[in-house]
Amino acid sequence: MQLNSALRWVVLAGLLVLLFVLNLSLGSVKIPVKEIFTILLGFNSVEPVWTEIIWDFRMTKAITCVLGGSALALGGLQMQTLFRNPLAGPDVLGLTSGASLAVSLVYMSGAAGVSLFFIQSAWTVAIASSIGCFFVFLIMLAVSRRLKDNVSLLIVGLMVGAATASIVSVLQYLSRAEDLQVYMIWTFGSLSGLNWTEIKVLATIVLAGLAISMFNVKSLNVWLLGENYAQSLGVNIGRSRFLAICSASVLTGGVTAFCGPIAFVGLAVPHLVKLLIKSHDHKMLLPAVAVGGAVLLLGCDILAQLPRTSSILPINAITALVGAPVVIWVIMNNKIIR
C-alpha cells in the first residue's frame, strides 16, 4: 500500500518532467533535444537565436502551462469539495463568465460611455478577472445555501453564465472593432504571450492560492461530510468556506485574466487525479491535483501544436476535447463519486 502510493507519485512527477521537456522541444523552429539541454544548463548554444527562443518563448509558455493548469485544477478541486458536487468547476458554475464580464469591461467599457479602468495593464486585467470570479462565486455560494440540490445549483450557474454573457454581448455590439478583437482573442485562451513579469504575477497568485488551500486542508476534508458534521467536528464553517472561496476565485481569476477562460481543466483534473491517487485526504489531493493540472495543460498544449504549422490551435478547443469525455464518465460513474 505504502510503496504503491509512492509509485503513483513517481508516475505523476515523471509525467510532469517528461511533458515539460517535450513541450520545450516542440515548436515551429526545430531545435535538437541535446541543444535544449545545453541551453537549459546555461551553456552557449551553436545557434544564439535558439537560446532566445527557448528562454523567452517556449520556457515562458511551458511555465504558464504549469502554473495555469495547477491553479485551475486546485480551484476546481476546492469547489467540488465545498459544493459536494462532482460537476462543480469554474466554467460550469459561471465563474469564468464572471471573469469574462469583468475583463470585457476592462477592454470595452469605453464603448458604453464609461471608462471603468484607465490603465489596461497585466495587473488591471488580473484584478478585474479575480473580482469577477469572486463576485459570481459569492452569488453561487448564497444560492447553494438555499438550494441543497445539485442539479438546481448547476442550472443557476448556467443562468448566471447566460446573464453575464448577454451583458458581454451588448458590450461587444457597442465597442470598436479593435477593442472587440483584443477581447475575442482573450476568450480563445492562450498560453503563450506572457512575459517574465507577467509570469511572476501569475506565480504569486498561484502560490497564494495554494498556500491558502493547504492552510485549509483540515476544513476541506471535513466538508466532505457536509456542513452539519463539519460544524459538529469543530470546524469554523464561515471562515473555512470563505478561505476556500478566496483561494478558488483568486486561482481561477488569475489564470483567466492572463490566459483567457480555459475550460474543463478545473472540472476534469480532480477526477482524473483521484483515479490515480485513491484518497479523500486533501493533504495528498491538493499537491497531486496541482501536478495533475500542470501535466494536463502541458499535454493539451502539445496537442495544440501537433498540426506542425506556424500557427497553433486555440487551447480551449483542446481542453474541451479532453474534458468533455471526463464529464460523461463522471455522470456514468456517479454512484462512486457521491
Partner 1 sequence: MQPALTTASLCIGYRNGAAERLLFDNLNLELVPGQLVCFMGPNGIGKSSLIRTLAGLQNPLRGKIRHHHEKKVEQLISVVLTDRISGGHMTVFDLVAFGRYPYLGWNVKLSNQDEEIVQRAIRQVHIETLTDTPLHQLSDGQMQMAMIARAIAQDTPIILLDEPTAHLDLNNRVEIMRLLRRLAKSTSKAILVATHELDLALQTADWIWLTTRKKNILSGIPEDLVLDGSFDSIFEFKGFDLKTGKVQHLPDKGISVSVTGEGYELLWTKNALERNGYEVSELRSPSHITVGRNKDSLFWLLSTERGDMHFNSIRELIKNL
Cell matching residue 153: 445549483
113 conformational bin, left if phi > 0, alpha if psi -120 to 50, beta if neither: left
Work out whether 234 is an interface residue with partner 1 (CB under 8 A). yes
Rounded least distance, CB 97 to partner 1, Å: 27
State which of residues 38, 84, 127, 170 lies at the interface with partner 1 (CB under 8 A). Answer: 84
What are the helix (H) ranges across the chain? 2-25, 33-40, 48-52, 59-83, 95-108, 122-146, 150-174, 177-188, 196-215, 217-223, 227-232, 237-259, 265-276, 282-305, 315-332, 334-337
Is 48 an interacting residue with respect to partner 1 (CB under 8 A)?
no
List the interface residues with partner 1, window 200-229 (CB under 8 A).
Answer: 215, 217-218, 221-222, 224-226, 228-229
Which residue, 127 or 218, is less far from partner 1 as judged by CB?
Answer: 218
Examine residue 335 and tell whether it contacts partner 1 (CB under 8 A). yes
Nearer to partner 1, 22 or 224 (CB): 224
Report the C-alpha gap between 32 and 34 in whole angstroms. Answer: 5
Interacting residue with partner 1 among 233, 306, 328, 331 (CB under 8 A): 233
Q: Which residue number, 52 or 281, has a Cβ lying nearer to partner 1?
A: 281
Contact flag: residue 152 with partner 1 (CB under 8 A): no
Q: Is residue 278 close enough to count as binding partner 1 by CB under 8 A?
A: yes
Where would I find the H helices in 233-281? Answer: 237-259, 265-276
CB-based contacts of 316, cutoff 8 Å, min separation 6: 187, 188, 189, 260, 261, 262, 263
| Least separation in angstroms between CB 288 and partner 1 | 12
**Under 8 Å between Cβ of 136 and 93:** yes
Residues of the shown chain interacting with partner 1 in the complex, contacts defined by CB under 8 A: 84, 215, 217-218, 221-222, 224-226, 228-229, 231-235, 274, 278-281, 283, 335-338
